[in-house]
Amino acid sequence: LHFYGMGGYVFFLNDVFKFKPTILYRWAERTPSYMDFSGTLIINDRVWVGATYRMENSYALIFQFNVNNQLKFGYSYDLTTFHPTQVNSGTHEFMISYDFTYGEGEDRSHQDISKVKGTRMIIISLMISRGYLRSLFVDYSYIIRRSFV
């Protein structure tokens, strides 16, 4: 059994820049729970640059490029901190995401998030550490979006 709780907000700084802080809490049976704190600068709704801190575990730098409203490419570099005596060269993660529901109806890019019912997405993620492929992750999700404001 796993439980994830996430919250965030997008601050509109001006016509070009937005700032998105987020918090993620993860709880799973027989493993330690943890929290992630992230901050992302969004430039022209196309380029995302940010950083993440996972409490007592790791730091990450994040980059994402939105080709269009459906297709996104991302990269992150994670450096773990929980084994201070172990040599760690970090982990590179490459991500591609595709939103299948864009185009079903009207353009959602500027729509009020509380009116968006859901999104079907596929995410493919590769993790590379010390020159070796450590994991391949494929996720097909239906994400329900709701606003509590």
pLDDT > 90? residue 37:
yes
Report the alpha-carbon distance of residue 55 to residue 23 in Å, rounded. Answer: 11
pLDDT of res. 145: 52
pLDDT of res. 78: 87
Amino acid at 110: H
pLDDT one-digit tens code per residue, 103-149: 544 444 444 444 545 667 677 777 776 667 767 777 766 655 555 55
pLDDT > 50? residue 55:
yes
Sign of the alpha-carbon torsion through 62, 108, 71, 137:
positive
pTM: 0.70
Q: Under a CB-based contact definition with an 8 Å cutoff, are residues 58 and 82 in contact?
A: yes
